[in-house]
A and B are shown apart, each in its own frame.
Chain A
Amino acid sequence: MTATTPGPALLVAEVLRRRAALTRIALWSLVEAVPSLTAGLLVAAAVDRYVAGQALAGTLLLAALLPAAVVGVLGTRRLFPWLAEVVEPVRDAFATAVVANTLHASTGVGRPPGTAVVVRLTEQVEAVRGALFVLLRQVRQVAFTVVAVLVGLALLAPPVAVSTALLVALAVLLFAALLPGQVARHRAVLAAEEDVSARAGETLHGLRDVIACGGEQRAITDLGDAVDRQVARERALARSTAARGLVILVGGQVPLLALLVAAPWLVRAGHLGLGEAVGAATYLSVSLEPALRGLVGVLSSSGLTLVVNLRRLAEEVPAPPPTAEGRQPLTDRYDVEVRDLTFAYGPDSDPVLRSFSLTLPADDHLAVVGASGIGKSTLAGLLAGLWPADRGTVRLGGVDVRQARSDDLRTTLALVPQEAYVFAGSFRDNLRYLAPEATDDDVRRSAEAVGLAPVLSRLGGLDARVGAGGADLSAGERQLVALARVHLSPARVVILDEATAHLDPAAEARAETAFAARPGTLVVIAHRISSARRAARVLLIDGDRHHLGRHEDLLRDSAGYAELVGHWRTTAELPATDPGAAPTTAGR
């Protein structure tokens, strides 16, 4: 997948790649312009015949408009499929770039983009497609119409053709001068509308919190201000849009006025006949003015839409960093060596890990414990090579994980995060995600091992469909799917990052035991202290200090660890408290 930014450059490149289609479009456009070209000429000739009293000849000439229209229609019919041949591949290219880049780039530490982002990206790609089509359809048609009109005028009345060409050129320049301001105002309106939407979404989502905080007035004011800003910008856009009336005046209406002002003089000098005058006026008022009006309208709607959406796509979906894929092959070894690892979320923030080192021999079973927010998940991500450390390295079988080949990493190392990934498809597809070659028996064995089997039989076996987002599964069941998937995979280093948080203690024990019995190294970021009891070694992260050892040793040597375990033990049993002023149920 090449790293392409879905922006203006991609659009230009994709459109230009369709040379064959573009040539066909140009040729059929010529055919489509035949009615525009012939209209004035035929009307002029017909009027001359009518004035000369030749009703039949005049009518025959007028009737020739029909075959001309048929020719034009033929052009239109042949034209549309070629337009689609340009527009649809452009949409494909944009959709591909958006999806590929987003998947590669969302390695970020924060939350992944959600549904709203997908909806917005889809709308933006769709807007590019629609606007491009309209532009290809209309702007091209207008351009050919204008040329046809000028050619027709030149044949009828050359001086009128010259003045008209000059005025149209002036109008185009005028429009080009107005356009940048229009684009800026249009962007401002869209940004303001998105601000309204974002704030409203926040307020609705947090309505309970707003009321509980007594923040109603603040919320109403914040949102109301955003609404008013949007309104002000929409009015500013309308004012600048109104200026485009000048463009139509100069290019569409003044040429007709010029013709009529000059007509008496032209007639007297013998440059213009009656039929020619009527024909020229027909060109100017029936073809040129509406064409120009359409051009201005389309450019300031579809044209702006295209420009604005291209820019936004380019901003929101950047090309992924080129270093995303490593090249070094992995060996058969799978010992893990962490050296001097330092990581902070920002340049000014306290490091989450500072000069951290750790050696995991092959087939180790390590539990990582510590308070929430202390950096356990960060460590899991660093072990898996998800993001770069500020300093230090993680080596897997002697190879830096950030440099390792993706295909090798996929079969050697697996991370199960707290938020399980389940996609629309069959259970079989979901479970064989990391082991495409696995047989149904293998799949069932792994499902049985981690405790997914009852869920499978309840929902109808491996062929049962999972809805988008695992909609029909509970959070715990989704975690079981993710666990069974990794259990089935060939990975020799497995990291469970609170991957059992939604399971009850018994189910968690079963899943973890299944992983411990599986060949390979197991790292468990513990959600409950019971995970530590099952592990061969325990890593306690306590602020800047780390303690590593067997459960029993840590219990003896580390006061912090003893407190952790002791706390868990007392709360699981019956603690003694003084009831004090015990509340009572009224009336009992």
Chain B
Amino acid sequence: MAVTAFAPLRRLTGSSLARMTVTAGPPLVVTAAWTVAGVAATLLLPAAVAAAVDRAFAGAGPGLALAILVALVAGKVLAEAAGLVSQARAVTRVLARVRHLFVRRLFVLGIAGTRRHDDGDLLARFTGNTAAAAHGVPSLVTVAVEAAASVGGLVALCLIDWWLGVTFLVGIAPAVLLLRLMMRRVRSRYGDYLRHQGDIAARFTDALTGSRTIQASRTQRRETERILAPLPALAEAGRQTWRVQGDISWQLDLVLAGLRVLVLGVGGVAVVQGRITPGQFLAASLYLGFALGFIYLSDTLAFLAHAQANAGRVDEILDQAPPRPGPSGAAVGRLPAGTGRLDLRGVTVRHDGHPVLTGVDLSVPAGTTLAVVGRSGAGKSTLALVAGGLLRPDEGEVRLDGVPLDALTASVLRREVGYAFDRPVLLGTTVADALAYGRPGTDGARVEWAARTASALDFLRRLPDGVDTPLTRVPLSGGELQRLGLARALVHGGRLMILDDATSSLDTVTEARVTAALTTGLAGRTRLVVAHRVATAAQVDAVAWLDGGRIRAVAPHRDLWARHPDYRAVFTAGSTP
């Protein structure tokens, strides 16, 4: 609670928070109106109380003064309640708008735009940062009103008796100085506390990751002790933080009491001299409280600065330029008949300035299967993303049955290209819903066919409610997850199917069975398969050998295997699944 800091206020003009505030619209104006009304009533109350007290001792009836008093109290209560409701309206309006914008922005940015951010970081921006920023919006109003109330209290003191105002101003300077001196001595240990807390959390996370080992070793008790080892240090740091709070609290109490005695003493003398009435003396002691309100203003300012920092983090995403924009107005609503001939021409992709793919030319005849093979980091997954239009190349183009992917509308493109991944993420409510994600209206028979083709039906039947089991209640091994990812791609359909290492977690038997079923189930469709295993490469029509982001060769597996020791090395060195 440093008694400084109008600096944050300057930074707020034209800031992210200010921009967000504009979206709050009418509710914020209403909030401001109610807040001002509430403060006005609050400021008038002591004067009305003074008048009522003085009338009572002048022997007069309660009369008008009391009526005004009642009206003021009622007005204050009403204004506070209405202000609270409209403030919530303003906050939630901003929150909803920002979050809706954020979600849409994510899909505008797409994979290329979001992969520079960590998932956890984006989630924190979407949840915590948007909320903190939105809740800061009404504080812009509060700051102004609190400052006005503080000034109003001082003005009222001066109006009652200008000596009171002078005394307040004379007393406040050393009081503030004294407070700052004392606060400086208080060093917060909160950083220590957070450090110990993080230590325990990290140990706990470790242990949960290894929970099977811990259970099998029956070391739960020992692990509990290991995780909680920093607890005494945490408790000690915790005691320190409370001590700091206590110190701040009593120092503030003492300084305020001193100031109060000073001002009231001057007020007493004014009563003796007949300059003010006893009622006004009472009013002065109330106004003194308002005038001192500015001491707490720094809290609100700190809160505003915090909200501004949060709003800034949200804006970084909302303002991020989308990756290379596509040609406008060239949307093709449907593809010509065909079975999925895929052509890549001079495709180059850069990530953070480094080339990932360089000048890739590749043609996959309709209905054939091409395997993409190469060491880790050769650019295989990037090639898979580019080939199906999930990632736009920085240079070059990709055509499906002769039409550039750029020219296709998003819905056509997605309908014609199906994907299965190494580590698929299942979305939706139940297993059946997850398999038909993005394909509303898919019938149960198609889902079952896909699950069977992907060899997933057996373990799905073992689930409590079969395919209707909620995803949250499905324990999946890596291999089971991959088979569901394949089933999803099969439900999806399309003339081009891209399998990015989609069977790597299956054991060899299951993989062979799945591959055979896919070959039958996807007969006539074009497939692009990223593969680590010899078995996969050996069974396809041709192999594209990727090395350092460039195509080294395209040929049947047996030819490459026979001619190139380097090619054989791809499957042995450092490429365990």
Contacts and interface: CB of A to CB of B under 8 A. Distances in A.
A282 B282 contact: yes
Contacts of B92: 231, 234-235
Given A46-B268, A285-B286, A239 B242 contact: no
Nearest 10 A/B pairs, CB to CB: A421-B210, A80-B246, A214-B414, A238-B88, A215-B438, A206-B425, A571-B535, A69-B257, A346-B464, A213-B438
A391 B389 CA distance: 52
Given A285-B286, A371-B507, A386-B216, A424 B206 contact: yes
A345 B77 contact: no
A528 B576 CA distance: 12
6 contacts: A54-B272, A103-B208, A122-B201, A242-B81, A373-B458, A409-B218
Given A46-B268, A224-B100, A263-B53, A207 B111 contact: yes
Interface string B78-112: 00111011011101110110011001101100110
A419 B212 contact: yes
A43 B200 CA distance: 53
B224 A231 contact: no
B470 interface: no
Interface stretch (A107-115, A357-365, A445-453): A107-115
Given A99-B224, A386-B212, 15 more contacts: A96-B228, A100-B221, A108-B475, A117-B208, A122-B204, A205-B119, A211-B110, A213-B419, A213-B488, A214-B439, A278-B281, A285-B46, A420-B210, A423-B206, A575-B535
A286 B286 contact: yes
Contacts of B203: 423-424, 468
A118 interface: yes
Interface in A183-229: 193, 196-197, 200-216, 218-220, 223-224, 227-228
B176 interface: no
Contact of B463 (A228, A346, A585): A346
Contact of B239 (A81, A121, A212, A347): A81
Interface residues of B, number: 179
B13 interface: no
B269 interface: yes
B216 to A, nearest CB: 4
B81 to A, nearest CB: 4
Contacts of B119: 201, 204-205
A490 B227 CA distance: 25
Contacts of A110: 473-475
B38 to A, nearest CB: 10
Interface in A536-588: 563-564, 567-568, 571-572, 574-577, 579-588
A92 B555 CA distance: 65
A267 interface: yes
Contacts of A298: none
A193 B123 CA distance: 13
A63 B261 contact: yes
Contacts of A414: 216-217
A19 B119 CA distance: 47
Interface string B494-516: 00000000000111111011000
B122 interface: yes
B477 to A, nearest CB: 6
- Interface residue tally on A, bucketed by range: 35 or more
Contacts of A459: none
Interface stretch (B3-11, B180-188, B360-368): B360-368
A95 B238 CA distance: 14
B405 interface: no
A59 interface: yes
Given A92-B235, A249-B73, A264-B62, A211 B242 contact: no
A417 B212 contact: yes
Given A205-B425, A575-B539, A373 B206 contact: no
Interface stretch (A302-310, A348-356, A516-524): A348-356
Contacts of A113: 208
B576 A504 contact: yes
B354 to A, nearest CB: 20
Contacts of B549: none
Contacts of A50: 268-269, 271-272, 278, 281
A122 B440 CA distance: 39
Nearest to B370: A583
A81 B265 CA distance: 35
Contacts of A567: 508-509, 512
A100 B556 CA distance: 57
Interface stretch (B248-256, B320-328, B330-338, B444-452): B248-256
B390 interface: yes
B168 interface: no
B56 A260 contact: yes
Given A202-B427, A253-B73, A583 B364 contact: yes
B106 A260 contact: no
A372 interface: yes
Interface in A132-149: 133
A339 B69 CA distance: 86
Given A87-B242, A203-B427, A207-B114, A349 B462 contact: yes
Contact of B211 (A106, A119, A210, A216): A106
Contacts of A215: 427, 437-438
B425 A434 contact: no
A371 B164 CA distance: 89
B123 A197 contact: yes
A582 B542 contact: yes
Nearest to A423: B206
A108 B211 CA distance: 10
Given A99-B224, A228-B96, A423-B226, A69 B254 contact: yes
Nearest to A215: B438
